[in-house]
Every structure is written in structure tokens, then in C-alpha cells.
Structure 1
């Protein structure tokens, strides 16, 4: 095998592929990147039986072939090469990588033992890269980081004809976003529970693409989702299990709510929470014209701050984990945020707080993003 490729194009493609490699694996071969050269095209692929990634780039191929080398090592090398064309040549059990006066010799792995990448099934629908990236950014933060309950570590995608919903929960909060998409007939009604980490990596890479095609397949052999944009693709096995029906938790009619400048609430929460110990809640007192933030840390640390707020309905006090609130506010892409309060018969434990985007004080919600957060018990 022998080919020449642009240094920046190579580095970008390798970085994309190895980003989805497992951090740890009992099979060293799964840490490899498969390089296939043929007819002036270069394919770079990784696959660990759960997730695959493939990028195709232009190269000057003199001799076709395929080799397997360490993915992370090649990524490190490609990112540090000088600004010059890169030449790859096989030499027995090694691959020689040359760039200017720089030369690396990499030991190859047995390519015949590498698993075959899954084929991408028929397209279920398409979505713009920007809409996909925004939805994943807003929702994935609510997925659980605890592998004890794998079903909660995912984001559930539910496809309709003109829209697709993204929803995630870790039991303490629920995030939901509807995004416009164009479905193929077979894609209507498709449901996929996708690992949140995989979705986040796909969003980082495909967010600047014009259009992403999504394929969802469920068969006796494999339950899988695939994403493809331009000459790059990612596939992932779906998580098994029944995702809880959390959409029903979102209230339809709310009469008690406050409208606050989004960035002011984020900044104030960060400042006041500095005195709190880890996982401690922050107290928010909402009344007409303002919301008061109060935090009590240890005996020597307290903090408080008032910010402007427009309240509709009765005065209310809630106790919220600062980081959970900030996570929800980070998904608000508008100048103002609507904080709505649901009813609860227990005066010491208000119902869930609903966060949504609000274009301006006098306007209604500016997009379909909703974030439901369970308050802590109030300390009287």
C-alpha cells in the first residue's frame, strides 16, 4: 500500500474516527484504526462491536491496500506533523509515515482479525446539522452518568413525520426538545434509545454539516442507529430496556411562573452557590419584581443576591441544586427564561419546576425546549 494525503485533511479525519474509540478495551485490536486505500480514496474506520465511525477522504493512491494501526497513536502523530504532504508506505509488518523530514514507523495489527463494520440501513429521515446539535446539547445533559441503570444513560429519539423528539432523564430532571426533520415513510414512528455520549460526539462532528441522514433499524440480528453527513458516518447499537414514559410528566397548563433574564440567573446562581458544599441546594424566593437567591454553607459562609423577575401568580419559594439549574438554563437559547411552578399538596416540597425558552418578557416560548427539575425539600 502506498498513498499521499493532505496533512490537515488526514488529521481531521483520524481525529473524528478515534474520538469514538473505547477508552479501555480488553481486545487491543479494537483500539486500532483501519486504513483502506483504493482508487484515489482513503477510508478510515473504527469499530468496537458497539460503535463504528468511518471517514472517506481524497488521497493520491499509488498502490491500494488495507492496514490496521493504533488509532490513538496515529491521531497524535497526525496532529503534530509539519505542514507538508503525508506519505504512507507499507514495509512488511510496518507502516512508514513520512512528512517532510519527519518519519514514523508504526507496527501493524492483524487486519484479518478486525471485525467487519455494519452496513448502514435505509434512511429514516434527515435533519439539519444545526438543529441536531442544538437538540443534543439541550437534552443530553439530563441523561444519567450512572451505568447502574443503563436505560437512563441514553437519549430517546422518537420520529414523527415532520418532527423528531429528543428526551433524557436521570430521575431528578427531564429534558425534552422537538426538532424539525423530514421523515421517509418507513421512518415515521421509529424510536431509538441512543447512548448520550455517542450522540454528543456525533453532534460535535456533524453540527456544522448542512444535513444529517439518520437511519434506525430494529431486527432480530441488530438494533442500530446510523448517522451520515457528507463522507462521514457513525453507527451505534441501541440501548436495551424500556425508557420511562417521562413525557407525560410535563404539565400542559401552568398559571404560576416567572420570567427572568437568562444570563442574569446563570451568573447569580454561580456567584451565590460558591459558598455551598457539593450537592447542597440553593434557595430561590420568587415574588413580584424580584427573585432572591440565598445560600448557607458552613458556619462562616453565607451568600445572597436579588435579581429582577416578572412574576405571574402567587409568591413561591423553591430549593434547587445549582448545577442542575445551570444545566437547564444552558439549553435556553433566548434572552429570557420562563420558570414555571407546578402544583403540589405538600407546602414544604413544591412540584417540579419547568424551564423553557422565552424570547422576551411579553412573548411566549421561543422554541420547544423544556426542562423539568425536581426541587429539594425546603428547610424551614
Structure 2
């Protein structure tokens, strides 16, 4: 392998690929970037077997071939070298990098040891990058943390053919973001730890294409493809959890509501069961909370105006769940749909009809 390439191009491409390399170094080859030179293109690929990234840049290929270099060393080297153009050449088990006044010889493991990577040619759904980024941002907070319920620790992406869902739930609250787009039908549960890598990819272009294949999900944006292994198993039927026709409804200014919740939460320590009580009367919502510590107690109360015309109603919530739910919306107003003090509550915003949150109340 021997190529000539612009320093800026290989520097940026190495940073993109290196993010997926194995930082722990348990399997040495996974700490490396695979370099593949062919048809005046250089493909850089890295994977830790759970996620992977592959990107392509233009170059001048004088001799086709493959090589591997340590990901972190490559990023540091390509960022520090001077000159506009670099030469990379594989020589006797090493990769020699030359610039205008420098020469470096980097250790190179055999490229045959690198895991075989198959990047799909066809993708089944295309979305604006900012739309999928928004979907993930607005639902991922609701994913579970309990490894005993491993399926719930991921985010479900599901395509129905005419619409696309991003869903997360921990069994106590649920977030659903819906986008109307035509595609093939499929579903995939993405580990939450893969989402940070995906968010980096979404900055690479204006559109992202998605396909699920061989128990992996692939995302392509511009010249870069990122893939992730999936959580195996059947995700709960979340559509049955979303209540319809709840008769007790109030609408409130989102900013004022969120501020009131945060004010009340000040009295709680992190490890406490943090319950907030909602007392609704006509056009008024009183939020109260009590913190118990030893023989002493602290109390908080905030009253805010709301649009509500029903009978007086009392219901309780985990205040952290409610704060995260309200914080996931961007609109000016929030509507809360309730029925019984122990039945699921639906949170919506007229300005963001694509987002629905469900919260289970606490007994009060």
C-alpha cells in the first residue's frame, strides 16, 4: 500500500474512525484503524465489535493495499504533522508516514487479523439528520438502567412502512417520538451506549440513511457509515401503554411548570424517594412535597396557574420523572392528560405533536 493524501483529509477521517476503536486494548487489533487503499480512495475503519465506523476520503493511490495503525497514535500524529500532503506506505510490517520534513514509522498489525466488515449498499429509510438527532435526544432519557431488564436499557427504532418511531421506557415512564416517512418495515433495539457515537455521525451530513441487517443497525451520513450491534429480544408493546381519552386534562406554561417542579425538588436529597403531589382545582395547580430525614422534615409548596375546569383532583409523581419529561419538550405549553390517581398519565404539547410521554403515578 502506498498513497498520497491531504493532511487535513486523513486527520479528520482518522478522528471519525478512531472513536469506534477499542480503548481497553484487550484485543490488540481492535485498537487499530484499518486502512484500505483502492481506486484513489482510502477507507478507514475501526470497531470494538459492539460499534464500528467506516469513512472514505479521496487520495492518490500509487499502490493498492491494506494496513493497520494504532487509532490513538494515528490521530495524534496526523493532527501534529506540518505540511499540506502526506505519504503513507506499508513497509515490512510498519506504516511509514512522511510529510514535507518528517518521517515516522508506526507499528502495524496484520490487516488479515482485522474483523471482516460488510457495509450495506442499500438503506431502507432516509431522514434529515437533525430529525433523528432530535428523536434520540427526546426519548433516550427514559431508557432503563436496570441490567436485569436489559431490553429496556436500549432505545427502540421501529419502521412501520409509513412512519418511524423512536421509543424508550424503563417500565415507569415512556417516551415516543414519531416521524412520518416511507420505508421498509423493521425494528431494532440500540444499546444506549451506542447513541453517543451515532450523535457524532449525525453531524457529518444533512441526511442519514438507516438499515437493519444481520442483527446490526447501520447508519450512513455522507461518506461515513456507523453500525451498532443490537439488543436481542422482543420489546414490550408500548402502543398499549399510551392512554387514550383521559378525561382530566390541564394545560400549563411549560417554562413556569418546569421552574415550579425544580423549585419543589430542592428539598430532596438524591437518594430519597422524591414524590411530588399535584392538587388541581379550577385554573390552579398546587405542587407540594415533603422530605423526611431522621426526626425532622422539610416541606415545599408552589402554586401556578393552569387551564383546568374539572373537579378537584389529587395525583402524585416521582418528581425526577416529571422534570425529565417536561424538559424533553421545546414548546411553550404542556398538556397533561389524567384519569385515575393510579392510571398512566399522558404528557403532550400541541406545538410538538410528534412527541408523547407517559408517566406512571405514585400512590399518595
Normalized against structure 2, the TM-score is what? 0.86
Aligned to 2:95, the other structure's residue is in SS state strand
Quick check: 227-236 or 15-24, which moved more? 15-24
CA distance in 1, matches of 2:298, 2:321: 22
CA contact (8 A) 2:243 2:344 kept: no
Structure 2 residue aligned with 1:191: 187
Structure 1: gaps spanning 5 or more residues = 345-349, 360-365
**Structure 2 equivalent of residue 374 of structure 1:** 360
Matched residue SS, 1:275: coil
Q: Name the counterpart of 1:259.
A: 251
Cα distance in 2 for partners of 1:357, 1:69 equals 50
The secondary structure found in structure 2 opposite 1:132 is: helix
Task: Write the deviation string for residues 83-109 of structure 1: whole angstroms up to 9, x where unpaired.
Answer: 854554445433344567676553222
Q: Could you report, residue by residue, the CA deviation over 1:128-185 in whole angstroms, capped at 9, with x for unpaired residues?
A: 21221111111222222333332112222221232111222111211111112221xx
CA RMSD of aligned residues (A): 2.8
Relative distance call for 1:146 and 1:21 in structure 2 (3 A) is farther
Question: Partners of 1:82 and 1:277 in 2: how far apart?
Answer: 53
Aligned to 2:304: 307
The CA distance in 1 between the partners of 2:289 and 2:299, in whole Å, is 6
The CA deviation at 1:322 is 3.3
**Residue 369 of structure 1: CA displacement?**
0.8
Partner of 1:35: 35
For 2:290 and 2:100, the matched residues in 1 are separated by 61
- Summarize the alignment of residues 102-181 of structure 1 with structure 2, pairs less than 5 Å apart: 105-120=105-120, 122-181=122-181
| Residues 282-337 of structure 1 deviation map (CA, whole Å, 9 limit, x = unaligned) | 41424333333334344375444333322253333333333322322232121111
After superposition, residues 55-94 of structure 1 pair within 5 angstroms as 55-78=55-78, 84-94=84-94
Other-structure match for 1:334 = 331
Superposition pairs of residues 190-209 of structure 1, within 5 angstroms? 190-206=186-202, 209=205
Once the two structures are superposed, the pairs formed by residues 204-215 of structure 1 within 5 Å of their partners are 204-206=200-202, 209-215=205-211
Q: Cα–Cα, structure 1 residues 243 and 6, in superposed 2: closer, same or farther, change >3 Å? A: same
Q: Find the partner of 2:287 among 293, 305, 311.
A: 293
Aligned residues: 359
Bigger Cα displacement from structure 2, 7-16 vs 170-179: 7-16
Shift of 1:80: 5.6
Answer with 13-22 or 45-54: which moved more: 13-22
Q: Deviations over 1:53-109 (max 9, x none)?
A: 111122344443322122234335545666854554445433344567676553222
- Which runs of 5 or more structure 2 residues have no equivalent in the other structure? none
Deviation at 1:250, TM superposition (A): 0.5
Name 1:244's counterpart in structure 2. 236
